[in-house]
Amino acid sequence: MIRFSIQRNGPLPGGGRSANIGGMSEEEAPKSVLARGLSLLEAFFSGESELSLGEIADRSGLPKPTTHRLLTELVTWGALERSGRGTYRLGAKLFLLGQLVPRHRMLRQAALPYLEELYRTSQENVHLAVPDDLHTLFLEKLSGRESMAIRSRVGGRMPVHCTATGKVFLAWGGRDRFQRAVAAGLPRLTPRTIVLPGLLHRDLARTLDRGVGINLEESEPGVVAVAAPVLGPRGQVVAALSITGHAHRLDVDRCAPTVRAAATAMSTQLTALG
């Protein structure tokens, strides 16, 4: 088991901002043309489906004329589309490229039978997620009529400190990932979000002990979740499976063994595939 200690280097929790949704100054803006174009695409990491020219310029830190020129080129290439309201949205070409990422495609294919079984037994939202720096990235989500409507979506990201899958990645990610999460700030998404490093440290130690990450209304009011790690051939955590539902209906302690069993079975499959 990995144990880690707290070092407070950097801004206090809550004082930082998430790089994917906050704007940057022109001094911080990327210099190369390629980096500038990519920074415009990163503006959509906030999860909003459409953004205006001004919003994209603010988030990228680029002047509006530069932003407009690069956006026009991205639209021509197919990375972005213009809506009837004059806003911009991600284009189909990015979706097609995303489907070709071999590691994510392999993980999704391996996970689908286990996700389907978790959904069949729980009738709740079930997820496959992978670590994405200080976020959890959802590769797949299954839900139905009985499932509670929640914020997560395929391709969406959420902070690691307040999600069940994210806590898995933090707990098994070691000292460095924990310290970077603390240095970046622990934003409060709900009244129950853990924003103090010491409390988060203790919660992650419990995550390691029980073998699952648990979110108790920490990312969205009324929503709870339980997640278990999926290990790759070398024993490293490569993904997590989770069940998410209504706080008054989903018993995370009762579901924990089921999620652990599914994650263990998927880990065995990945090891066999090498």
Q: What is the pLDDT of residues 213-239, one digit of tens each?
A: 999 999 999 999 999 999 998 899 999
- Structurally, the chain folds into a number of domains equal to 2
In-domain check, residue 3: no
Residue 6 has pLDDT above 60, yes or no: no
Domain with 220, as residue range(s), is 101-273
152 and 139, same structural domain? Answer: yes
Mean pLDDT of the chain, nearest integer? 86
**CATH number of the domain bearing residue 55:** 1.10.10.10
d(CA 225, CA 246) in angstroms, rounded, equals 9
108 and 91, same structural domain? Answer: no
115 and 56, same structural domain? Answer: no
**More confident of the two residues 47 and 42:** 42
In this prediction, residue 13 has a pLDDT band, given cuts at 50, 70 and 90, of very low
In this prediction, residue 91 has a pLDDT band, given cuts at 50, 70 and 90, of confident
pLDDT at 43: 87
3-class secondary-structure state, position 224: strand
List, in order, residues 6 or more apart from 2 with CB less than 8 Å away. Answer: 171, 172, 174, 175, 208
**Considering the entire predicted model, what is its pTM?**
0.71
d(CA 245, CA 81) in angstroms, rounded, equals 34
Residue 19 has pLDDT above 50, yes or no: no
**More confident of the two residues 111 and 6:** 111
Q: Which of 162, 150, 183, 139 is nearest to 16 (CA)?
A: 183
120 and 65, same structural domain? Answer: no
Residue 15 has pLDDT above 50, yes or no: no
